């Protein structure tokens, strides 16, 4: 069974406009140089596995506070039995937000069609071409599943957002605008600043993130593209 490697009881940051609990899952098929969860990706054995029964018991005690549960990682859809876990959490009456890198469109489609997720946040890494996407994900990538996941979400059968972590040096302003033009989802395209604190590629520790005001301006501009 899929292992839960982290449990944050409450967060205002992980689901727009909602207070949620957050579950963390191990492993990922990408190697983004700016990944700050890389210990969960490469060395999940460092973390104890939290029994699902314990998580469910705690979720029940938080029920009157939280709006739902966010599943993040690592990459949750890396695990073939994620749907079973989602069904179990749903059975207990909680709304679910899924964070994904979009690499498993088949699972994403099935989860949406089965009504097992209520909100999906898909990380988009770079303009949608093999060179930029491979550079941002750390290996030679096949874009087809990413494009499929984007199309699945844009059908609008579930609430969604596309989220890009912006890393100076890796992403120029024109790259962000290019991606915005490819997505054309207006305010559903969210930019977030890169944190140099603990990146997978240590050389990125020296990168200075965008000025938040500048990033907000770029986000405003890119959200006007529909």
Q: Among 23, 32, 120, 218, which residue sits at the site for ligand SF4 (rule: CB under 6 A)?
A: 32
Q: Is 30 in the site for ligand SF4 (CB under 6 A)?
A: yes
How near is the Cβ of 10 to ligand SF4 at its closest, in Å?
22
Contact 48, 3 (CB under 8 A): no
Q: Looking only at residues 121 through 140 of this chain, which bind ligand SF4 when binding is defined by CB under 6 A?
A: 123
Q: Is 14 in the site for ligand SF4 (CB under 6 A)?
A: no
**Which range in 18-26, 49-57, 67-75, 176-184 contacts ligand SF4 by CB under 6 A?**
67-75
How near is the Cβ of 182 to ligand SF4 at its closest, in Å?
19
How near is the Cβ of 117 to ligand SF4 at its closest, in Å?
18
Specify the residue, 59 or 194, whose C-beta has the smaller distance to ligand SF4. 194
Q: What is the dihedral of CA 221, 141, 146, 116, to 10 degrees?
A: -120
Q: Which two tokens stand for residue 58?
A: 């705690």
Specify the residue, 30 or 210, whose C-beta has the smaller distance to ligand SF4. 30
Q: Among 21, 77, 101, 104, which residue sits at the site for ligand SF4 (rule: CB under 6 A)?
A: 101
Q: In the beta sheet, which residues pair with residue 21? A: 69
Specify the residue, 73 or 127, whose C-beta has the smaller distance to ligand SF4. 73
Specify the residue, 7 or 27, whose C-beta has the smaller distance to ligand SF4. 27
* Long-range contacts, 28-31 (Cβ 8 Å, 24+): 28/73, 28/74, 28/75, 28/78, 28/101, 29/75, 29/78, 29/101, 29/103, 30/75, 30/101, 30/103, 30/125, 30/137, 30/138, 30/139, 31/137, 31/138, 31/139, 31/200
How near is the Cβ of 87 to ligand SF4 at its closest, in Å?
24
Q: Is 73 in the site for ligand SF4 (CB under 6 A)?
A: yes
**Which range in 11-19, 24-32, 153-161, 218-226 contacts ligand SF4 by CB under 6 A?**
24-32
**Which of 28, 129, 31, 117 has its CA nearest to residue 71?**
117
Q: Among 4, 22, 23, 35, which residue sits at the site for ligand SF4 (rule: CB under 6 A)?
A: 35
Question: Which burial class, exposed, middle or buried, applies to 203 when counting CB atoms under 10 A from its CB (0-12, 13-18, 19+)?
Answer: exposed
Q: Among 31, 90, 154, 163, which residue sits at the site for ligand SF4 (rule: CB under 6 A)?
A: 31
Q: What is the dihedral of CA 127, 132, 138, 143, to 10 degrees?
A: 60
Question: Which burial class, exposed, middle or buried, applies to 31 when counting CB atoms under 10 A from its CB (0-12, 13-18, 19+)?
Answer: middle
Which residues form the interface with ligand SF4 (CB under 6 A)?
28, 30-32, 35, 37, 41, 73-75, 101, 123
């Amino acid at each position: 069974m899929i292992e839960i490697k982290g449990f944050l009881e409450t967060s205002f940051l992980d689901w727009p406009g909602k207070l949620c609990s957050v579950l963390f899952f191990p492993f990922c098929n990408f190697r983004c140089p700016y990944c700050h969860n890389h210990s969960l990706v490469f060395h999940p054995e460092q973390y104890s596995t939290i029994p699902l029964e314990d998580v469910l018991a705690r979720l029940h005690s938080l029920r009157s506070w939280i709006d739902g549960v966010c599943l993040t990682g690592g990459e949750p859809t890396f695990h073939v039995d994620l749907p079973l876990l989602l069904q179990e959490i749903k059975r207990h009456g909680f709304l679910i937000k899924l964070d994904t890198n979009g690499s498993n469109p088949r699972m994403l489609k099935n989860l949406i069609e089965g009504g097992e997720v209520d909100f999906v946040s898909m990380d988009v890494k770079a303009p949608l071409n093999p060179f930029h996407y491979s550079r941002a994900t750390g290996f030679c990538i096949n874009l087809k599943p990413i494009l499929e996941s984007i199309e699945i979400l844009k059908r609008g059968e579930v609430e969604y957002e596309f989220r890009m972590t912006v890393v100076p040096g890796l992403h120029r302003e024109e790259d962000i605008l290019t991606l915005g033009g490819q997505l054309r989802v207006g305010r559903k395209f969210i930019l977030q600043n890169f944190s140099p604190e603990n990146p997978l590629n240590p050389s990125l520790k020296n990168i200075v993130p965008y000025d938040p005001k500048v990033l907000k301006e770029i986000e405003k501009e890119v959200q006007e593209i529909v």
